A and B are shown apart, each in its own frame.
Chain A
Amino acid sequence: MLKSGEPFVRIVKNDISDRKAALLSVYAVIFAIIMGGIFILCLGINPFNAYASILKGALATKMAIQATVKIAIPLLISALGITLAFKMKFWNIGAEGQIIVGGIFATYFALFHHNLPHFVLILVMLIAGMIGGGLWALIPAYFKCKFDTNETLFTLMLNYIALYFIKFFVEGPWRDPESSGFPKIAMFEQNARLDKVFGVHAGWIIALVLVVFIFIYLKYTKQGYEISVVGESQNTARYAGMNVKKIVLRTMFLSGAVCGLAGMAQVSGAAFTLSDGVAGGVGFDAIIVAWLARLNPFVCVVVTLLLSILEKGCSVMQSTFGLSTAVSDILQGIILFCILGFDFFAQYKPVFRNGGAAK
Chain B
Amino acid sequence: MNNTAIELSGIRKTFGTVIANNNVNLSVNKGEILALLGENGSGKTTLMNILAGIYLPDEGTIKVDGKEVHINSPEDANKLGIGMIHQHFKLIEVHSAADNIILGSKDNPFFLTKKRSQKIHEISESFGLEIDPDKKIYNMSVSEKQTVEILKVLYKGAKILILDEPTAVLTPQETKKLFAILRKMKEKGCAVIIITHKLNEVLEISDRVTILRKGESITTVNTAETNANELTELMVGKAVELSIDRPETEYNENVLEIHRLTVQNEEGMDALKDVSFSLKKGEILGVAGIAGSGQKELCEAIAGLLKAKEGAILHHKQNLVGKTPAEIINLGVSMSFIPEDRLGMGLVASMGMVENMLLKTYSQGKTPFVEKKEARELSEKIIEKLEISTPGIDTPVRRLSGGNVQKVLLGREIENNPNVLITAYAVRGLDINSSYTVYDALNEQKQKGVAILFIGEDLDVMLELCDRIMVLCHGEITGIVNAGETTKEELGLLMTGAINKGVSANA
Q: Do chains A and B touch in the complex (CB under 8 A)?
A: yes
Q: Chain A interface (Cβ within 8 Å of chain B)?
A: 1-7, 10, 13-15, 220-226, 228-229, 232-233, 235-236, 238-243
Contacts of B355 in A (CB 8 A): 225, 228
**A225 and B362 form a contact (CB under 8 A):** yes
Distance between Cα atoms of A196 and B373 in the complex (Å): 44
Nearest CB of A to B124, in Å: 28
Task: Pick the residue among A14, A15, A241 that contacts B329 (CB under 8 A).
Answer: A241
Instruction: Specify the chain B residue showing the minimal Cβ separation from A230.
Output: B348
Task: Pick the residue among A224, A226, A229, A241 that contacts B325 (CB under 8 A).
Answer: A241
Instruction: Specify the chain A residue showing the minimal Cβ separation from B358.
Output: A225
Contacts of B80 in A (CB 8 A): 1-2
Instruction: Specify the chain A residue showing the minimal Cβ separation from B56.
Output: A10
Contacts of A233 in B (CB 8 A): 343-345, 348-349
Instruction: Specify the chain A residue showing the minimal Cβ separation from B16.
Output: A15
Top 6 A-B residue pairs of the complex, sorted by shortest distance between their CB atoms = A241-B326, A241-B325, A240-B359, A232-B348, A235-B345, A241-B329
Identify the stretch in B87-95, B191-199, B363-371, B490-498 within 8 Å (CB) of chain A at 4 or more residues: B363-371
Would you call B69 an interface residue if the criterion is a C-beta within 8 Å of the partner chain's C-beta atoms? Answer: yes
Task: Pick the residue among A2, A13, A222, A240 that contacts B370 (CB under 8 A).
Answer: A222
**A232 and B360 form a contact (CB under 8 A):** no
Nearest CB of B to A203, in Å: 27
Q: How large is the interface on B (under 10, 10 to 19, 20 to 34, 35 or more residues)?
A: 35 or more
**A241 and B369 form a contact (CB under 8 A):** no
Instruction: Specify the chain B residue showing the minimal Cβ separation from A242.
Output: B326
The answer to whether A2 and B79 touch (CB under 8 A), given A235-B344, A240-B359, A241-B324, is: yes
Nearest CB of B to A260, in Å: 23
Nearest CB of B to A242, in Å: 8
**B368 and A221 form a contact (CB under 8 A):** yes
**A7 and B351 form a contact (CB under 8 A):** no
Extra 20 A-B pairs, beta carbons < 8 Å, given A232-B348, A235-B345, A241-B326: A2-B72, A2-B80, A4-B70, A6-B56, A6-B70, A10-B56, A13-B15, A220-B370, A222-B362, A223-B368, A226-B362, A229-B359, A233-B343, A233-B348, A233-B349, A235-B344, A236-B344, A238-B325, A240-B359, A241-B360
**B303 and A236 form a contact (CB under 8 A):** no
**Residue in A1, A222, A232, A243 with the greatest tally of chain B CB atoms within 10 Å:** A222
Distance between Cα atoms of A235 and B300 in the complex (Å): 11
Contacts of A1 in B (CB 8 A): 79-80
- Produce 1/0 per residue, B77-106, CB < 8 A to A: 001100000000000000000000000000
Contacts of B418 in A (CB 8 A): none
Would you call B346 an interface residue if the criterion is a C-beta within 8 Å of the partner chain's C-beta atoms? Answer: yes
**A3 and B72 form a contact (CB under 8 A):** yes
**B303 and A239 form a contact (CB under 8 A):** yes
**B370 and A221 form a contact (CB under 8 A):** yes
Would you call B221 an interface residue if the criterion is a C-beta within 8 Å of the partner chain's C-beta atoms? Answer: no
Instruction: Specify the chain A residue showing the minimal Cβ separation from B343.
Output: A233
Nearest CB of A to B17, in Å: 8
Distance between Cα atoms of A199 and B344 in the complex (Å): 52
**B324 and A2 form a contact (CB under 8 A):** no
**B370 and A225 form a contact (CB under 8 A):** yes
Distance between Cα atoms of A238 and B324 in the complex (Å): 9
- Produce 1/0 per residue, B271-303, CB < 8 A to A: 000000000000000000000000000000001
